[in-house]
Amino acid sequence: MKNVTITIGLFEKVAFPEFGTSDVVAKIDTGAYTGALHCTKIEEIPTPKGKVVRFSTFAHPEITVQKDEYYIRNVKSSNGNDEKRFFINTTINLLGKKYPIILSLADRSAMKWPVLIGRRFLRKNHLLVDVHKGTQYRNAVKD
């Protein structure tokens, strides 16, 4: 079966079913290798069954999520500094289709976009970015 290339815009509405979020505007960033999800209260904690990463998503800061499958890597952030980040596997809904995605957990409160989707995800899923598409969402986030 041949892979079909799908064209997406510079900004797209996405959902994360695992976290109960929908209609989130994500910035598609071909300059970023991985994606990032805005979270707060990110911490690794020991449990009787082993370590877990615990965090709150931007959509539900009052709810904490725990994931026992994760890994830690150093990432060069947008300000050029190296920082330790937790990476998780989850599912993203994009243009009516579900995709598996790996995201880093980061406090993006100083950033305009709560979700960043990088080229690793784009390449794996044969997604092409048209910078003229999706611009209607550009003003969906407060400056």
Least confident of 18-27, 87-96, 134-143: 134-143
The domains of the chain, with CATH numbers, are 6-137 (2.40.70.10)
Instruction: Kindly give, in sequence order, each residue whose CB lies less than 8 Å from that of residue 99, ignoring residues fewer than 6 positions away.
Output: 91, 92, 93, 121, 125
Q: What percent of the chain has pLDDT over 70?
A: 94
At 143 the pLDDT is 37
18 secondary structure, DSSP code: G
Quick one: pLDDT band at residue 1, thresholds 50, 70, 90?
low
Chain segment 102-128, per-residue pLDDT in tens: 999 999 988 889 999 999 999 999 999
pLDDT at 142 over 50: no
Assess whether pLDDT exceeds 80 at residue 2.
Answer: no
Beta bridge partners of 55: 65
Predicted local distance difference test score (pLDDT) of residue 141: 54
pLDDT(79) > 80: no
